[in-house]
Amino acid sequence: MTHAMDDETFSQVLDTVRRFARERLVPAEPQLEALDDIPADIVQDMRDLGLFGLSIPEEYGGLALSTLQESQVVEALCYASMSFRSLVGTNVGIGAQGIVMEGTEAQKQQYLPGLASGELIASFALTEPDHGSDASHIRTSARADGSDFIINGTKRYITNAIRADVFTLFARTNPDDPGAGGVSAFLLPADTPGITIATPDKKMGQKGTKTSDVILEDVRIPADCIVGGPKNLNRGFRTAMKVLDRGRIHVSSMAVGTAQRMLDEALTYAMTRQQFGVPISDHQLVQGLLADCQAELAAGRALVRETARKYDATGAAALEASCAKYFCTEMAGRVADRAVQVHGGAGYMAEYPIERLYRDARLLRIYEGTSQIQQIIIARNIIKAAQGL
């Protein structure tokens, strides 16, 4: 069972985040796009609101939200550009959750208070140039050398790498096992000698997010930096999968938040834009586009909330998390497309927010497991269940 903040306090937190997203972040979106970075004063505001510590236990300075509560806060935050969320996302989700779920007490004491306050930034280094969705076959090697490991390899598209203070890094500790069983997860301080962070990537959308290659050359790290300690040697893939389940609920919530924003943009435009002497919202074909957005959005929101409830109740929801990630991110893509269509030619122009939101939404169907990987997971799960396995 996941502990949760009491309802009254949470209601206040959610209301604060909702107002912050709409009144502070939405007006700052043009500045974010122009700078390709998050303004420093907004970073500090996000620290002050406790947004870096949403999912970190209270005893380490976090807000200790349940998955359901986190889902609602992420949805509210992603009413504004999802790039703002990317700054806190690795601390709330994949960057820190391995420590929360599997870390030793010493590792928790060392990292979680700083991650909760936003003074430290965590990053999740799993993807490689040749292995993104197929995470079980990673090639980055961690060779035992006495009580240390020597790490060599390259990680790709690592969010917040350039900002990171600590990486949860996955490397192959058992070269004789080419699959999932030979991988360990390490907590790697970013200032360890031998780490090079490449220039941040230029991307289609989500300006202000920072992804980079991380190059590791003879990086020496003690065995007690394995997440959970040396007893978790060769169990890193299990850690990654546990973290990604909750991460997929998080991404589903992002998709719902941005879909709501895009629908609102389309609705506002349709009610003010006149064609044939009436607002275009009076035209039934435009109403059909808006209705499809609303129906799918409602379905996605219900699915992610129910999945979060199950995860909180049981600590696992692999099938449901994949269903939510697949449906909600594809839904956001369809809403983006219809919202541009409602805007007509204006939707293709950079002066309207929908042009940027459309580009930003495209990434949702790729990261933390592509839609195709989710389809494979869903199918395997239901086939196994039908076989009685």
Q: Which residues contact 115 (CB under 8 A, 6 or more apart)?
A: 52, 53, 56, 91, 95, 96, 99, 121, 122
Paired with 155 in beta bridges are: 214
HEC sequence for 109-163: HHHHHHHHHCCCCEEEECCCCCCCCCHHHCCCEEEEECCEEEEEEEEEEEECHHH
Short-list 189, 211, 214, 191, CA closest to 202: 211
What is the torsion angle, in degrees rounded to the nearest 10, for the CA atoms of residue 303, residue 307, residue 308 and residue 310?
140
Residue 218: C-alpha distances to residues 141, 146, 154, 186 (Å): 10, 14, 12, 15
How far apart CA 255 and CA 335 sit, in angstroms, is 10
Contact assessment for residue 327 and residue 335, using Cβ atoms and an 8 Å cutoff: no
Contact assessment for residue 5 and residue 72, using Cβ atoms and an 8 Å cutoff: no
| Angle at alpha carbon of residue 364, lines to 4 and 240, rounded to 5° | 60
Contact assessment for residue 281 and residue 352, using Cβ atoms and an 8 Å cutoff: no
To the query of whether residue 320 is one of the catalytic residues in this protein, the response is: no
Catalytic residue among 70, 265, 320, 368: 368
How far apart CA 295 and CA 14 sit, in angstroms, is 24
Q: What residue type is assigned to position 389 of the chain? A: L
HEC sequence for 225-249: HECCCHHHCCCHHHHHHHHHHHHHH
Q: Tokens at residue 180, please?
A: 């999932």
Q: In the chain, at which residue ranges do the beta strands (DSSP E only) sit?
A: 122-125, 141-145, 148-159, 166-172, 183-189, 195-197, 211-222, 274-275, 278-279
- Residues with catalytic function: 368
